[in-house]
Structure 1
Amino acid sequence: MPKRPARRATADQPTRPCPCGSTEPYGGCCGRLHRRETTAATAEQLMRSRFSAFSVGDADYLSRTWHSTTRPARLTLDPRQQWTRLDVLGTEQGGLFDTTGTVEFRAHYRESGQVNTVYERSRFVREDGQWVYLDADESH
């Protein structure tokens, strides 16, 4: 069995600002979702919590919130990537009463001294009543 990477500092310091960009501390924001104390109410909240999971190195949460038909068999996070900022650019549907939603965002990270950005339109659906990541919308 592969060795799990250690969680990064924010997960061990719940009073630090949440990586998702909210004004809440990590422990009261995305940390609650990572610890299974609650689930995401909207597609955007799930997307923000998934960004935070990348930031703190929580591969288990990422797997748990990935749709069963598109989830990779194994997920290994690159510890050299430091996810630094999330910019949510827009959402379509994904609310409390929706079953599908799309979140457009830019995620910023550092790797080997280089600053990089990922742009994506992520698609989310409800599976067993919970929001999960489906895939990236390639049509845009």
Structure 2
Amino acid sequence: MLKEVYCPCTQERLYHNCCQPYHNYTKRPNSAEQLMRSRYSAYALNLIDYIIKTWDPSTCPHFSTNKTHNTQWVKLIINRSWENKATHEAFVDFDAFYEQEGQMHRMHEISRFTKKDGGWLYLDGKVS
């Protein structure tokens, strides 16, 4: 019997009904917030290829395909999201909680996304 697994981006939806279709490239996120959630889940599941493919090439750094550190992503809270249709950009304000070397941490970021060829890409973010 297969174990039902909740999606890393929320404990309210099962992974196969949430971010897995994005990670399998069978579905595209319809909003920047959906892309943000799928990218958070990709970090939690160490899906580096997905992270790279959903990052705008103009700002994407070089990534190793190996997991580089021992980070356990614990929880994602979306504070708000908004879109500027005139500039084809959207923003997601979120808090991500993670454990590293036995210590809990919180990262607050306002991510900026751009819409290209009908799909959303991560552009950059301001971390505080």
**TM bin (shorter chain):** 0.7 to 0.9
Q: Distance in 2 between matches of 1:61 and 1:94?
A: 25
Gaps of 5+ in 2: none
Q: Confirm or deny: 8 A CA contact 1:84 1:110 kept in the other structure.
A: yes
Residue 136 of structure 1: SS of its match in structure 2? strand
Residue 57 of structure 1: SS of its match in structure 2? coil
Which 4+ runs in 1 deviate beyond 4 A? none
Residue 109 of structure 1: SS of its match in structure 2? strand
1:70 paired residue number: 59
Q: Confirm or deny: 8 A CA contact 1:14 1:25 kept in the other structure.
A: no
Greater percentage in strand = 2
Residue 39 of structure 1: SS of its match in structure 2? coil
The Cα shift of 1:98 comes to: 8.0
Gaps of 5+ in 1: 1-12
1:93 paired residue number: 83
Residue 69 of structure 1: SS of its match in structure 2? coil
Q: Distance in 2 between matches of 1:94 and 1:18?
A: 28
Q: Distance in 1 between matches of 2:104 and 2:83?
A: 31
The Cα shift of 1:79 comes to: 4.3
The Cα shift of 1:128 comes to: 2.0
The Cα shift of 1:22 comes to: 5.3
Equivalent residues in 2 for 1:98-137, closer than 5 Å: 99-137=88-126
Q: Confirm or deny: 8 A CA contact 1:88 1:104 kept in the other structure.
A: yes
Q: Distance in 1 between matches of 2:81 and 2:3?
A: 28
Q: Distance in 2 between matches of 1:94 and 1:87?
A: 22
Q: Distance in 2 between matches of 1:109 and 1:128?
A: 33
Correspondent of 1:46 among 23, 31, 35: 35
The Cα shift of 1:136 comes to: 0.8
Moved more, 86-95 or 107-116: 86-95
Identity across matched positions, percent: 34
The Cα shift of 1:75 comes to: 4.1
